[in-house]
Amino acid sequence: MEDYKQILVAIDFAEECEKVVKQAASIATTNDAELNLIHVVQPLASTYSTGLAGGFVALQENDIEKSALSAAQDELAQVGVKWNIPLSNQHVVLGYPKDEIHRMAKELDADLIVIGSHGKRGVRLLLGSTANAVLHGATCDVLAVRV
């Protein structure tokens, strides 16, 4: 097994996310690696609108998204306390999971992404749709933990 030094753990706060963090923490301990948590809050609607000149203008996050981000930060902080992960290593972002997980992995120079897999049927039988999307396009190793 490769030595991992930066591990990014993507969690969705499902009941089973405990198993994902536990697996990542075990790998981090074995490799003396740094753990980072990420939770992605998906936008409720398109964040762009057509401006007067016909171009796209970014809209402000609406109150519901701000509330969701705040609630997610609170919940992620609880996970961080439980697993002794500092606040500076806890990331709550607004966006689309695949894109934001890839972006954060590059920003942190992560060498492993750990994500839960909820897939149960169809083409995504082996991986959940988010785990599958993260796997394709990741520039580092990805561990999909079956939950």
Per-residue pLDDT of the chain (147 residues; tens, 9 = 90+): 568 999 999 998 888 889 999 999 999 999 999 999 999 999 886 445 455 555 554 545 578 888 999 999 999 999 999 999 999 999 999 999 999 999 999 999 999 999 998 655 444 444 468 888 888 889 999 998 987
Residue owning tokens 């500092």: 86
Measured distance CA(63)–CA(55) in Å, rounded = 24
Measured distance CA(22)–CA(41) in Å, rounded = 22
Q: Which of 74, 139, 55, 69 is nearest to 104 (CA)?
A: 139
Q: Which of 44, 66, 65, 47 is nearest to 57 (CA)?
A: 47
Note the pTM of the prediction, 2 decimals. Answer: 0.81
CATH 3.40.50.720 holds for 6-146: no
Measured distance CA(17)–CA(9) in Å, rounded = 10
